[in-house]
Amino acid sequence: MFQPLMSTAEETRVFGLVIADPDLRILAGRVITISIVTSAWLIVSSLICYCVHGQTDVLSVPIAGVFGLLPWCAYAGAKRNHATLTGCFCCCNFIGVLWSLTNVLSVAVVSFVLQTNVDECPPIMHVLPAHCPSNATWERMCNTTYAVLPDGYSAAECYHLLYTKLVAIQAAFLATFVAGVVGVCLQGLACVWGQELYANVKAGAVVHAPQLRSFAVLESPAQAQGHSTPFASAQDATEFFSE
């Protein structure tokens, strides 16, 4: 008769993967979960930026598209016990952390500079502090997404527009900043957990062992009264098939 090696196969499954090692099971589950959450958040944050700013950075859309493939990369790397895919997952998230940090810092700097210019640098002043923009600079500052004036506007008109819209502009910057910080945290976790999974796969650990799901042993009626399999545990079977 045939008797399954594992009577509790469901307990070893994570997203359909059969993982005997409990530590690897938890780690793989974390990596796949964080990849899905990160990918979804990147898409959502891109939509937030589009709705708030009216446009996206030239590179935002293709970058979001690349990170949209991360769940597949994490899942395939674990399923195939593939070091290259898990390493790619880790590296992409590391690059994403750097990219998100750059955006967060840029937004913070621009927000601070804009607030300072509006508070301390009205172009109607005869003597301006050294850090203030010149009138010529003011006359170029109101052709952005946040503040648009018809051609030929004066420095005073631009300042007045920015002054009246400052709260809304800073709210847009804040939304972008928060979205970026959340992205940094998610991608940071994905990078750390992905690196740990990569190290395990690189060291030869078998993450997904489909043999455990379908393996069966032919035994005689006499054997059925004693030991049902030649392996003492599922881990022994995993090590046997990985050799």
- Domain coordinates in residue numbering, the chain: 14-203
pLDDT at site 219:
42
Q: So what's the pLDDT on residue 64?
A: 67
Buried/exposed code over 201-216 (b: 16+ C-beta within 10 A; e: otherwise): beeebbbbbebbbebe
Mean pLDDT by 10-residue block, N- to C-terminus, for the chain (243 residues)?
A: 46 81 90 91 76 58 72 89 91 89 90 90 79 84 74 85 88 87 93 93 85 46 46 49 49
Residues 72-101 as b/e (b if ≥16 CB within 10 A, e otherwise) read ebbbebbbebbbebbbbbbebbbebbebbb
Angstrom CA distances, 27 to 8, 79, 206, 214, stand at 20, 13, 13, 23
pLDDT number for residue 6? 45
Sign of CA dihedral 152, 155, 156, 159: positive
Pairing status of strand 17-18 against strand 13-14: antiparallel
Q: Strand 216-218 to strand 2-4: parallel, antiparallel, or no bridges (unpaired)?
A: antiparallel
* Predicted pLDDT at 239: 52
* pTM for the full predicted model: 0.72
pLDDT at 214: 47
